[in-house]
Amino acid sequence: MIKLSKILNEDGYKGLLDDIPGAKVYTASGGGTAETQSTKKIWDDGTPVLKYIARAPKKTIKLPRKFKVVDDTKYGWWYFQIGNVWHGIDKDKYGTPPFEY
């Protein structure tokens, strides 16, 4: 049996790939911390509403050891989901990513 949260998670990543030209999904290794902007607001297909991420205040979060990350080279962001929260990291704020992929 597939959990609904798993389906929504996959659809959210697919939605981002469909919406952002040239974006790619990678498996990242983390475990450290990062300063992110976050939202729980999503479209019906599970894709995050990116304007809420861009407008959110920055918070430091602990990164999971393994997670999927969308590399948005067009607009300069990394996006990923932890639980039901989508996070974004503005690449301009980091010289190198706070995780490996």
Q: Are 32 and 63 in contact (CB under 8 A)?
A: yes
Residue 3, number of CB atoms within 10 A of its CB: 8
Render pLDDT for 79-93 as a digit per residue (tens, 0 to 9): 999 999 999 999 998
Q: What pLDDT digit, counting tens, does each position of 14-66 carry?
A: 999 999 999 999 999 988 999 999 999 999 889 999 999 999 999 999 999 99
Task: Provide the CA 98 distance to its chain's centre, in angstroms.
Answer: 13
The pTM of this model reads 0.87
Task: Please say whether the beta carbons of 56 and 64 come within 8 A.
Answer: no
- How many domains in the chain? 1
Q: CA gyration radius for the chain?
A: 13
Question: Does residue 99 belong to any structural domain of this protein?
Answer: no
Region 3-12: mean pLDDT is: 55
Which residues constitute the domain of residue 51?
4-93
Cα distance between the two ends of the chain: 29
Residue 40 lies in a domain: yes
